[in-house]
């Protein structure tokens, strides 16, 4: 048995036919976790209370192991967002995703490691220690969903769920050589996801293939009336009906001239485009002048929302609580102990851009630019079907190679524009470099047109393998 070489649909078929049982899958998953996770550290907690006596496998995910990022609530289970602040917090209700997975009778193997409060690009900031890249344990697995990506890449589970705010599904997928899908904002319910940046956070799958990403997405792609950001299916159809697949891929060439883009990454990207031409795709250069501002806009708006969302962790109502000489001193001690340096940095930055005298200069200007970038992307999809870039400017880097925060932020340069706009995006392995580390292609589609990503992604897999 090898999760990396078997699709979810094949596992389901084997379960239905009786060729394998849920216990077989559980035992295999546990054996790989026992073998690899001592060093990789992808799981914060492994759940051993499994229902293994499935007599029917009615649903596509029934009986199939999955790992869940440690910021998605499952009632009665601990959920910490890999932060000391929530180290002992137990979820008091089920997220919408948890309800879906329980209805599917999926086998939840445990909660997976991540950057502290989902803030990071390398999973180095986790309170529970860093996750290592299973392809080369001297390198980072990406972040913040490093645990989910590493678990799939190591073959511990067939798929995982992560969250993506600036690139936190796609970056680790690229670093670990697996597939990562960021759905359209509003396609997958956010209810029960520990909020970091509410206008950006999205839940999505990390898998071994585009087909598996499609399979999982089709399960979690539900309207949730209790989530105000969830978009009704009828409204989604309006977007989908407007777009037809003519196999036109747009490349924002000027955007690829950013400092720090590795020459091998660029060469692989251009070679990959040539392969898509042979599959009948038309490649055109497109002009998106405001894309160059996306990273600055993101790192203005995201910290502002972080500052607001994390204000609730005050040491009074729940989570970590440190006593102080007075109320303000208690706040300071609680937040200083509970949050890591990166979380503190973003809270302070967000508080600054929202403060009196500065919110007009920074926050509102960033919001205006976000609107311009969004309109620019919407307009370009009138003439093309897919936007393509590399997923990241570099392959997975060595631990300690990027010590200043700016160099880490720059790893998100090709991913954050489509978080600002809400468009769906897919990261797909596209070969390996001279050190056997994976490259990755990044496709973006019009709003709620994930099917375009799956069609192009499966075509790409066929020519790249």
Structure tokens belonging to residue 356: 């009196």
**What is the tens place of the pLDDT at every residue in 224-234?**
999 999 999 99
**What is the tens place of the pLDDT at every residue in 447-465?**
999 999 999 999 999 999 7
| CA-to-CA dists, residue 168 to 245, 322, 325, angstroms | 28, 31, 39
Residue 138 annotated to the active site: no
The 10 Å CB-count burial string (b at 16+, else e) for 310-347 is: beebebeeebbbeeeeeeeebbebbbeebbbebbbebb
Average pLDDT over residues 12-19: 95
> From CA 239, how far away is CA 243, in angstroms rounded?
7
Residue 90 phi/psi, 5° resolution?
A: -110, 130
* Confidence at residue 166, expressed as pLDDT on a 0 to 100 scale: 96
Average pLDDT over residues 148-177: 98
Grade residue 163 by pLDDT with cuts at 50, 70 and 90.
very high
Question: Can you tell me which residue has the tokens 């054996």?
Answer: 31
Judged by average pLDDT, the poorest of 196-205, 238-247, 317-326 is: 238-247
372 exposure class (CB count in 10 Å sphere: 0-12, 13-18, 19+): middle
Residue 168 annotated to the active site: yes
Grade residue 426 by pLDDT with cuts at 50, 70 and 90.
very high
Average pLDDT over residues 257-269: 94
Grade residue 317 by pLDDT with cuts at 50, 70 and 90.
confident
> From CA 184, how far away is CA 422, in angstroms rounded?
6
Please check the confidence at residue 443 and state whether its pLDDT lies above 90: yes
* Confidence at residue 24, expressed as pLDDT on a 0 to 100 scale: 95
Please check the confidence at residue 433 and state whether its pLDDT lies above 90: yes
Grade residue 55 by pLDDT with cuts at 50, 70 and 90.
low
Grade residue 357 by pLDDT with cuts at 50, 70 and 90.
confident
CB–CB of 208/445 below 8 Å? no
Catalytic residue among 29, 69, 126, 452: 69
Average pLDDT over residues 303-314: 96
Render 3-33 in DSSP notation, one character per residue: GGGS-HHHHHHHHHHTSS-HHHHHHHHHHHH
Please check the confidence at residue 54 and state whether its pLDDT lies above 70: no
Catalytic residue among 122, 144, 163, 440: 144
Average pLDDT over residues 20-44: 97
Grade residue 403 by pLDDT with cuts at 50, 70 and 90.
confident
Q: What percent of the chain has pLDDT over 90?
A: 93
Average pLDDT over residues 308-322: 93
CB–CB of 80/112 below 8 Å? no
**What is the tens place of the pLDDT at every residue in 97-126?**
999 999 999 999 999 999 999 999 999 999
Please check the confidence at residue 429 and state whether its pLDDT lies above 70: yes
Evaluate if pTM is beyond 0.95. Answer: yes
Provide CB contacts within 8 A for 74, sequence distance 6+: 68, 91, 94, 95, 98, 108
Please check the confidence at residue 301 and state whether its pLDDT lies above 80: yes
Please check the confidence at residue 52 and state whether its pLDDT lies above 80: no
| CA-to-CA dists, residue 393 to 93, 250, 269, 354, 356, angstroms | 39, 18, 11, 31, 36
Helices and strands per DSSP (H, E), number in the chain: 15, 11
> From CA 238, how far away is CA 252, in angstroms rounded?
27
For all residues of the chain together, what is the average pLDDT?
96
Architecture in CATH for domain 3-229: Alpha-Beta Complex (3.90)
* Confidence at residue 311, expressed as pLDDT on a 0 to 100 scale: 94
User: Dihedral angle at the C-alpha atoms of 408, 412, 413, 416, nearest 10 degrees?
Assistant: -140
Average pLDDT over residues 180-186: 98
* Confidence at residue 108, expressed as pLDDT on a 0 to 100 scale: 97
Catalytic residue among 29, 126, 168, 197: 168
Residue 307 annotated to the active site: no
* Confidence at residue 244, expressed as pLDDT on a 0 to 100 scale: 76
CB–CB of 272/430 below 8 Å? yes
The answer to whether the peptide bond before residue 356 is cis (omega within 30 degrees of 0) is no
CB–CB of 31/25 below 8 Å? no
């Amino acid at each position: 048995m090898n999760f990396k070489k078997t699709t979810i649909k094949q596992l389901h078929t084997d379960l239905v036919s009786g060729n394998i049982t849920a216990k077989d899958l559980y035992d295999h998953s546990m054996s790989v976790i026992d073998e690899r996770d001592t060093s990789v550290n992808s799981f914060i907690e492994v759940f051993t209370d499994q229902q293994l006596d499935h007599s029917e496998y009615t649903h596509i995910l029934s009986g199939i192991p999955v790992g869940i990022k440690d910021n998605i609530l499952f009632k009665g289970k601990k959920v910490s967002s890999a932060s000391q602040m929530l180290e002992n917090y137990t979820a008091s209700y089920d997220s919408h995703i948890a309800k879906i997975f329980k209805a599917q009778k999926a086998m939840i193997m445990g909660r997976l490691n991540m950057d502290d409060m989902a803030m990071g690009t390398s999973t180095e900031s986790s309170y529970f220690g860093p996750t290592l890249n299973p392809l080369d344990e001297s390198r980072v697995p990406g972040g913040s969903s490093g645990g989910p990506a590493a678990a799939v890449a190591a073959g511990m589970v067939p798929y995982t769920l992560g969250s993506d705010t600036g690139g936190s599904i796609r970056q680790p997928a690229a670093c670990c050589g697996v597939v990562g899908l960021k759905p359209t904002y509003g396609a997958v319910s956010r209810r029960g996801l520990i909020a970091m940046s509410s206008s950006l956070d999205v839940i999505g799958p990390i898998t071994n293939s585009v087909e598996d990403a499609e399979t999982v997405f089709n399960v979690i792609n539900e309207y949730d009336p209790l989530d105000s950001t969830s978009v009704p299916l009828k409204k989604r159809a309006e977007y989908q009906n407007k777009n037809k697949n003519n196999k036109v891929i747009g490349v924002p060439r000027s955007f690829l001239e950013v400092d720090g883009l590795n020459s091998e990454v660029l060469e692989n990207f251009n070679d990959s485009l040539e392969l898509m031409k042979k599959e009948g795709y038309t490649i055109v250069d497109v002009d998106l002048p405001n894309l160059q501002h996306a990273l600055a806009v993101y790192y203005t708006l995201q910290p502002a929302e972080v500052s607001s969302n994390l204000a609730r962790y005050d040491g009074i109502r729940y989570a970590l609580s440190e006593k102080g000489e007075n109320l303000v001193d208690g706040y300071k001690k609680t937040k200083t102990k509970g949050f890591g340096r990166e979380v503190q940095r973003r809270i302070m930055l967000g508080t600054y851009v929202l403060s009196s005298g500065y919110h007009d200069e920074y926050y509102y200007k960033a919001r205006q630019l976000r609107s311009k970038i969004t309109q620019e992307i919407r307009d370009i999809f009138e003439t093309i079907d897919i936007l393509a870039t590399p997923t990241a400017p570099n392959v997975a880097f060595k631990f300690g190679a990027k010590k200043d925060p700016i160099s880490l932020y720059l790893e998100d340069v090709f991913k954050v524009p489509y978080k600002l706009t809400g468009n769906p995006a897919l990261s797909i392995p596209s070969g390996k470099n001279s050190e056997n580390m994976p490259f990755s292609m990044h496709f973006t589609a019009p709003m709620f047109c994930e099917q375009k990503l799956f069609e192009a992604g499966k075509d790409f897999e066929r020519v790249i393998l």
